[in-house]
Structure 1
Amino acid sequence: MLLFTRIAALLWVACWVQLVDARLRTGQLRSKETLVGGISRESTSQCTSEAYVNTTRNPPAMRLKKPTLCDPDVRQYSGYLDMEDKHIFFWYFGSRKRLASSFNATTDKVPLVFWFSGGPGCSSQIANWQENGPCTYVPSSVFDRGMSDEMRKLLPHEVKRNPNAWNNVADIVFIDQPVGTGFSHGRIPNSTEGSADTAWRVMQGIYALLSADAKERNEHDITDVHIFGESYAGRYIPVFAEYLLHMNKHVLASSELRDRGFVELPLQGIGIGNGMFDYSVQTPSYYTIGCNSTYPALFTRPQCAYLKNRLVPGCSELMSKCYSAGAPQSSALGMRADDCVRLRPERWRTSKECAAADSYCSGALNWTTMVSTYDIRPNAHLVPDDYVDYLRTEAFMKAVGVDEDIDYTECSDAVFDRFSATSDGVSRSAMSSLQFVLGKNIQVLLYSGDADFICNWYGTLAVAKALEWQGKAKFAEAKPTNWSWPATTGSNIEAGQFKSVDNLTFLRVYQAGHEVPYYQPQASLYMLSQFLRHNKLS
C-alpha cells in the first residue's frame, strides 16, 4: 500500500509527503568519499565500481524457510537477507503457471515481479494479504476489537488461497523495506536514496537464489524482471529502477563485481499504482477530485473556490521556492552526474521553504468528512486489517522464519518519522528518474483507481503528461481507449480507460480505491497479465 493509517489528518500529511525528487547535487565528491552501500570514488570525473568495498558480495547471507502457507502447491521461500546492520524480510511465491500440464519448464519463461509497498514504512505483507498475494485471511467469527493483543493471538486463525493472486502469471516477491518495515529490522535509513542500494542488493540476492534454482531444475533463465508497488512506491520505484540501471552498467564494466557474484538484472518494466510522484504537479488534482470529478463533490462551493483560486496556485508557488531553495545546481539530472551513481541527499531537503510549502498545501483535509481518503465513494469502507493478528502468532512467525523478538508492524512510526524529518517526499520529485527510465526503453505502467483521493488518478495523469521524454507530444495527443477484462462467462467487463504511447502506459481503473487489486482483483490480474505479455494494454 499505502500511506499511514493513523488518523485522518496524518493520512493527509503522509501522502502529501509522498513526493519524490531524484535530483541530486552535481558537485564533486571529496577524495574517496563513501556513498550509500559502500560505493566510493576518487575525486575524478569517473565513478569506479571496482571501489566497491571488499566485504560486499552477492548473494548476501540468507536465512531461508520453505513455507507451505496460503498456496501450498507452489514453490516458496521466505526469511532474511543479512547485510551488515540490515536484515531484510521477504516472501517469494512461485508462479502457478508451473502447475499447468502444458507448462514446459525448459522453454517457457516465467516473469519475476518484485513488490514494494509504500508508507514510507508500510510492509509489503499488506499487498500479500489484502491485495494481490496468494494469501487471504478468513476473519474469526469471535474476533472482538476490544480484545487485548494477547487474546487475539490465541484466536483460531484460517488462511486460504487467493484465486486472483498475481502469481497466477508471474513469480512474485514481497519485500519489507526500508529497514524497520514489517518484519525487517536493523539500521533505519532516513531517505529513499538511503534505501536504494539496499533494495538493489536485496533484488540481486533473490535473483541469484532463484536463478540458481532454475539452473538446478533445468528451467528457463529468468529474463524478465519487473518492479511493482503503490502509493509511496511512486517515490521508491523510479529511484530504485534508476539505481538498478546504473548498477547494471557498472556490473557489465567490472570483472571484479562479476567475480563477487553481482549480475546484470534484466529489468523490463515498472508499474506503480496510485503513486505520489511530484508534489507540485499533483497538487491541482485535489481540487479536481474534490470538486469536479465523476464522483460527488467532497467540498462546499466556497471551499472549492478557495482551493482553485488560492490554495492550488499558492501551493505551487511555495513548492517552486522549496525546489529551488539552497540548490541552484539541482536540475533534472536525477542521480546522474559524471556517470556516477549519486545517492547523497541534498541539504535543502529540510529547508524552511519546504516546511512552509508542506504546511500550506496540506490544509484541505480539515474540510472533508469522507470515510476514507483512500476511497471517496459514499458507501466506502476501510480495507480490513484483521490479518495482522495472525502475522503476530508464534506459529506463523516460525513458519516463515521471522527473527525472535520481532513483532509485525503493518506501518512503522519510526520509519515514517525518520523520512519525514528529512522531508524525503515533500521536497523531491520522481519526474527525472521516471524520465531516465523511459529513456532507457523500460516499460512504464502508471495505474490508478479512480475512487482514491489521496493519490488520485487526475494527479497521476498530470504526471504522465508532464514527463519530458521522446513520446511526450504523442502522449498529449493520444485519446483514451476503453479497457475491459474478459469474464469467464465470455463477456467483457468494462473496467477503465488507458493511454499508451511507446513505452509509457497510463490506466484509470473504474470503481477502485487506493489499493486497486483489493477493489478490482480480476481486472488488476488481467492488467498485469497484459503488461507482462505485451508491454502494454489493449
Structure 2
Amino acid sequence: MEAQLSRPLMALRLIFLLCFFSALARCCRFLAAEAAPTLVTRLPGLDGALPFRLETGYVIVDEEKGSELFYYFIESEGDPRRDPVVLWLTGGDRCSVLRALLFEIGPLKIIGEPYNGTIPRLRYHPYSWTKVASILFVDSPVGAGFSFSRNPTGYHVGEVSSSLQLKKFLTKWSTEHPYYIANHFYIGGDSAGGKIVPFLAQKISEDIEARVRPLINLKGYLVGNPGTGESIDFESRVPFLHGMGIISDQLYETIMEHCHGEVYTNPKTALCAQASDRFDRLYDEIYRPHILFKKCVYASSGTNDGSIERKILKEEAGVLKHPPPRLPMDCHNYGTYLSYFWANNNITRDALGIKKGSKDEWVRCHEGDLPYSFDIKSTIKYHRNMTLKGYPALVYSGDHDSAVPFLGTQSWVRSLNFPIVDEWRAWHLDGQSAGFTITYTNNLTFATVKGGGHTAPEFQPERCLAMFRRWVCREPL
C-alpha cells in the first residue's frame, strides 16, 4: 500500500521538478537575451534603414555594485574585417559620448531646425570617421549617458578607477567580439577625455607585455585639444588671447610680470588679482570652444525670470526633470538642445536597447552632481612612456579653441624633448593649407586644424577626417 502511494507521489515530484527546471531555463534564456547586444537597424528621426551597422549594449565593470557601461559600436563603412577599431572617449564633466557620435566623428547628425514637439530629425554625415575605422563609443565614467549603477556607491569613481573599468570593459568586449581581435586597435578622445587616453593606453600596453589575454592589438592613440592636468592647459590662455587681440598688451604684460602663472589659481598680490579680474571679464565676452562663434546666453527655466520663456520651455521639455538650456536657433550648439528630446524619447530608448529603469533621464553632462576624483595629476609622463615604447601618437588642436589652446599643447609636446624628424610645415586638403604639423621621433605627431575649435571635428569635419585617415593609414599628413 505504502509503495502504491509513493509511486504517484514520486511522479508528482518529478513533474514539479520538470516544471521548475523548465521555468528556470526560460528565466535564464530571458536574462541572457536581456544582456545580449542590440543590433539597431533603424533610428527615430532618420528616414529608412541605417546605412551602417550599429550595435549597442552594456558591459558590467563592477559586479559587486552592478555598474554597467553603455556603448555604441559602429562598424567601419569600408572593410570592417581589416579596418582599425577605435575606442572613443569624450570630455566634459561626466558627459555622454552620444555628443561625439552626433556632433563630431559619428555618421549621424541632428538637423538643426525649430523643435516642434516631435522627435528631432537626423541626417547622414559624410565626414564620419567610420569611413575608415570601426568606432566603439563608450559612455564613461559610470553615470555618463546611459551608463548606470544599481548601487549608488558605484558612481563614486575617478579618473584612475574609471580608466581601470574601461580596461575591464575592453577585455570583456573583446572576448565577446573575437572577430575584431586581429584588427589594429587605437584609443582616442578629446578635451578631458584626453587625460584618460594615455593612461589607459599605458595600462593596456602593460597587459600586452604581461601576455594577458585577450591580447589587445594596440597600435597607437590620438588626443584632441587634450587636458593634461598641468597648469599649462590654462596658463596658455593668456598668450593665446593676447595674440588673438582679446586682451591688451598692457594687461598681458601685467599678468606676465605680476602673476607668474598664478592667474588661474590664487593670486598672491593685489596687482595680480586685479589683472585676473580684468582678464576674466574679457574672457567672458567670447564663446570659449571657438572664439569666432556667437556667444549664446543660455536661458533655462531655473535661471530666467521671464514667465513666457519658462512656459515655452516647460511645454517643450515635457516631463524632463533636467530640461536643457533653451538656445536661439542661430547658436552653434542648438543641436545639443535638440539632443535631449531625441535621446529621452521612449521610441529612441527602445531602439537603442536601453534597460528599463536603468536611467530615468539622459542628460548631456552631469555638472558636478555626481562624485568624481581628478586623480590623474599629469598625463605627460604617460605620453612619454607610450611614445618611447614606440606607439604612434597623434596630438591635434583646433587652432581657435580658447579652452585648451594649441599653444599650451604645443608647449608640453615640445617639453618631451624628442628630436624633430619632419619640421613644422603646412598640411593640405584640396590644395589649401588645412593646418600645420610637426613630427618627432618615436612616431609622435602634433597637428593644428585650421578653423577648428575645442572639439575640432565638430567645426572642421572634412579636414579632421582627412587628418585621421592619413594618420591611421600611416601616411604623412
Work out whether 1:168 is the aligned partner of 2:131: yes
Q: Kindly tell me: are residues 316 and 65 of structure 1, through their superposed partners in 2, closer, same or farther at Cα, counting changes over 3 Å?
A: closer
Structure 1 residues 141-160: aligned runs within 5 Å: 141-143=114-116, 152=117, 155-160=118-123
Shift of 1:64: 1.3
1:188 and 2:188 correspond: no
What are the equivalent positions in structure 2 for 1:298-447 lying under 5 Å apart? 298-314=246-262, 364-377=279-292, 381-384=331-334, 385=336, 386-405=338-357, 406=359, 407-414=361-368, 418-419=371-372, 422-424=373-375, 428-447=377-396
Q: 1:447–1:506: 8 Å Cα contact kept in structure 2?
A: yes
1:431 and 1:190 map into 2 onto residues whose CA distance is 22
Counterpart Cα distance in 1 of 2:422 and 2:260: 27
**Rounded Cα–Cα distance in structure 1 between residues aligned with 2:412 and 2:202:** 18
Runs of at least 5 residues in structure 2 that lack an aligned partner in the other structure? 1-33, 269-274, 296-330
| C-alpha distance in structure 1 between counterparts of 2:264 and 2:119, whole Å | 52
- The reply on whether 1:493 has 2:432 as its aligned counterpart is yes
Give the share of equivalent positions with the same residue, in percent. Answer: 20
Residue of structure 1 equivalent to 2:419: 474
Residues 399, 378 of structure 1: CA spacing in aligned structure 2 closer, same or farther, 3 A cutoff? Answer: closer
Partner amino acid, structure 2, of 1:276: G
1:440 is displaced (CA, Å) by 1.3
Deviation at 1:62, TM superposition (A): 4.4
Secondary structure, aligned partner of 1:81:
strand
Cα distance, 1:492–1:82 mapped onto 2, change above 3 Å? same
Determine the structure 1 residue equivalent to 2:462: 522
State the match for 2:51 in structure 1. Answer: 73
CA distance in 1, matches of 2:128, 2:422: 32
Summarize the Cα distance change of 1:280–1:368 in structure 2 as closer, same or farther, 3 Å threshold.
Answer: closer
2:67 alignment partner AA = K
The verdict on how the C-alpha distance between 1:142 and 1:284 changes in structure 2, with shifts beyond 3 A counting, is closer
Distance 1:75 1:210, change over 3 A: farther
Instruction: Name the TM-score, length of structure 1 as normaliser.
Output: 0.67
Flag the 1:395–1:316 CA change in 2: closer, same or farther, 3 A: closer
Cα root mean square deviation, aligned: 2.7
Cα distance between partner residues in 2 of 1:139 and 1:520: 17
Match of 2:10 in 1: none
The equivalent residue for 1:332 is none
Distance 1:366 1:160, change over 3 A: same
How far apart are 1:224 and its partner, in Å?
A: 0.4
Number of residues of Structure 1 aligned to a counterpart in Structure 2 = 386
The 1:289/1:399 distance shift into structure 2, 3 A limit, reads same
SS at match of 2:473: helix
Q: Is the 8 A contact 1:278 1:463 kept in 2?
A: no
CA distance in 1: counterparts of 2:234 and 2:110, whole angstroms: 36
User: Deviations for 1:116-142, whole angstroms, at most 9, x for unmatched residues?
Assistant: 001131111111011110111123434
Contact kept in structure 2, 1:225 and 1:268, CA below 8 Å: yes
